[in-house]
Amino acid sequence: MQNRVKETILKNGLIEQNQRVLVGVSGGADSMALLFVLWKLAAEGMGFTLGAVHVHHGIRGGEADGDEAHVASFCRKLGVPLAVRRVDVPGLAAREGLSLEEAGRKARYRAFQALVREEGWDRVAVAHHRDDQVETILLNLFRGTGLPGLAGMPLRRGNIIRPLLHCSRAEVEEWCESQGIGYRTDATNLEAVHTRNRIRLHLLPLVEREVNPHVREQLLGMAELLEEENRFLESEAEKALEAVAGPGGDLALEPLLALPLALRRRVVLAACAAAGGGRRDLGKVHVDAVLALAARPPGSRQLHLPGGLRARVRYGKLELGLEPSGPEFGPESGPVEAVPTREELEAGTELFFLGRRFGFRVLEYDDSMKIPKNLYTKWFDYDRINNDLRIRTRQTGDFIAVKKETGALGRKTLKAWCIDEKIPKEARDSIPLVAMDHQILWIVGHRMGEAARVESGTRRVLEISVFEEKSNE
């Protein structure tokens, strides 16, 4: 295995002479093997220096403390400097609306990159292997993905390297045994709780037994082919980006919209990354929302994207940049909004706005249908909605239709409603609104107006569902 890892490093330029390599070490077989094999290669004179980092997740109690102690003992034995970072993963998961698994991943990579900035490491080595790659390809397939997802994890992305990616889990564990490397076993990896675990423990063995005993090798072969094609498309997208981008990074709308759709999506994704957003947090729904914004009639429009990005169309250009620091963007920036067309609503569509995904569909209605009581799924009388429907933040003059004690409809200003409901001023600009002109149909997460409620004479219903956006791997 040591020779294979060395060959992988040299053939793919993962580590260069005199570089400093930080190894993420959890205490499991994979990361312990990675640390030891890199330590041996460095001792053989490959010309790099080594350090290690262990991230304590604040979960699993004494077991996690034991992981930390085991890693610390091994690093002392090898003479490798170790940094330990303790993070509150449950707290992070609660704050950002993530699963514990995703919050742990985020916490680890944030800790890695913080150390890179603080201590000047050139590479961060993580211990993903061939079986992890197979699981990742299937995860991406089931979630819906393009070529990059089906190509799996690259050997290198930025400063992250994966020297074990050509080794199997069995090879790694056998090598640990042969080298006398003790390792910790996380009992949660043996539980079919997370999706990745269910793929590993149930789905893959079933497919190997009932469908194709060589499915792992064939998935990896497919990923290799798709990676080659993806690299080609990425190079074409880089050329296209240079052709449509101005000096400040803004994209000229006319040449952008003239590109083939496959390149158009990649150009927008690359431009978002260049503007400071993370590619990982941007999916097809976000890229398509930006392209829909770009294709709409002239005007000043904008929408929010994950990672603190804002997309805005002005003066024939698509501007992509980080959000201003404050909630008020100034009068020149225009309303913050996403606007579905009538055709999009009737075909069924999704829009992304303020960190949420809005799903729309039109249904035929009869009185036997049960109106949902869900806080984030609402039904509206579609035929009472005009062509000015939009998702936006508050504006001066906004009001909501309310029912008076007499049963007659009246109106209440949005400002008065916010005061009555004790909504803090600093929070009011972050509440999505479903509006027609200045009439608010739905204060998302709070209340509906009375103007377009479903009644006995309703023939068609517009269903709007709102979902928090989460990143996936």
List, as residue ranges, the binding site for ATP. 26-31
Other beta carbons less than 10 A from residue 426's beta carbon: 9
Question: What does the alpha-carbon distance between residue 375 and residue 363 come to, in Å, rounded to a whole number?
Answer: 19
Helix (H) or strand (E) holding 419: helix 414-420
Nearest of 370, 391, 393 to residue 461 by alpha carbon: 370
DSSP state, residue 210: H
- Is 362:318 a contact under the CB 8 Å cutoff? no
Give CA separation, 136 vs 128, 130, 196, 224, 437, in Å: 10, 10, 8, 14, 45
Sign of the dihedral through C-alpha 264, 266, 267, 272:
positive
- The neighbouring-strand residues paired with 291 are none
Stated as kind and residue range, the H or E segment containing 10 is helix 2-12
CA 375 and chain centroid, separation:
24
Percentages (nearest 5) of helix, strand, coil residues in the chain = 45, 20, 35
| Cα angle, residue 350 at apex, residues 371 and 301 outer, rounded to 5° | 120
Q: For residue 173, count other CB atoms closer than 10 A to its CB.
A: 16
Residue partners of 160: CB distance under 8 A and separation at least 6: 109, 112, 123, 124, 126
Residue type, 266: R
Q: Could you tell me how far CA 102 lies from the centroid of its own chain?
A: 10
Going by C-alpha positions, the residue among 442, 437, 447, 423 that lies closest to residue 335 is 437
Q: Residue 285 has which token pair?
A: 């729904």
Identity of the residue numbered 129: H
Of 59, 61, 63, 55, the residue nearest 24 (C-alpha): 55
180 and 253 Cβ atoms separated by less than 8 Å: no
- Report the binding-site residues: 26-31
SS (H, E, C) 62-110: HHHHHHHHHHHHHHHHHCCCEEEEECCHHHHHHHHCCCHHHHHHHHHHH
